[in-house]
Amino acid sequence: MFDLTGRAALITGSSRGIGRAIALQLARQGASITVNYLRNEEAAKQVQQTILSNGGQASIVQGDISVPKQAERVVDMARQAFGRLDVLVNNAGFNRDTLLLRMSVEDWDEVMAINLRGTFLCTKAALRHMLRQRWGRVINIGSVAGIAGNAGQANYAAAKAGLTGFTKAVAREMGSRGITANVVAPGLVRTELTKDIPPEMIDLAMQRIFVGRVGTPEDIAACVAFLASEEASYMSGQVLVVDGGLGN
């Protein structure tokens, strides 16, 4: 395991799913965690309590990261909780799937707001603190849909593809300041976002997954933990695909 003792991390959208797994993983490796949630306070408190009961440190903060003032407040409260902010994981995600010809402007805008604008807002706020420390990790949770596209997900795929360009720009701007920026792009992972995928589509995907199983949130969390560590200091501007071979 990578030692994150003394580091403080904010994970957006971390009351459940991949975000929850990331929060628990980073906490196990010694990081102090700020759990961000939008609506489910009880789930966020459960994540916090799990970390505390295992001897870690954790705070929770509510906020819609697609709203500028709320995003800034979430980041500021995360820094205040532990006196620093070393790791930002932009995990909060949202999908509204439908074929392009049926997709409304609202479907497009809402997905862009959470997945792309929220990442911009939180990263901009977090970098102010990281620059003072001359150390930081920005880790954005993308998707294989942002690489290969996916029918019925033009908005989601575009937002996740946008994350790649955004991350590479941040990596170029911040590289000389001790700050790295990378993308983790999950494939098929069992979460709230994928629970409604028809069984026949799961079966089709399974035929293409080399390792022979659907991914878990913990699979993604393990890769995030590496990117958050000192050992990943020479890795920046990269897209780490974690899909069991699905995209090959």
d(C-alpha 180, C-alpha 25), whole Å: 20
DSSP 4-52: -TT-EEEETT-SSHHHHHHHHHHHHTT-EEEEEESS-HHHHHHHHHHHH
- Known catalytic residue at 156: yes
What does each C-alpha distance from 178 to 3, 14, 186, 213, 224 come to in angstroms? 18, 26, 26, 37, 18
CB count within 10 Å of CB 246 equals: 21
Ramachandran angles phi, psi of 47, nearest 5°: -65, -45
* Catalytically annotated residue among 94, 120, 156, 166: 156
Pseudo-torsion of CA 71, 76, 79, 81, nearest 10°?
A: -100
d(C-alpha 35, C-alpha 28), whole Å: 14
Q: Is residue 84 within 8 Å of 133, Cβ to Cβ?
A: yes
Rounded to whole angstroms, the maximal C-alpha distance in the chain is 51
Which residues are known catalytic residues? 156
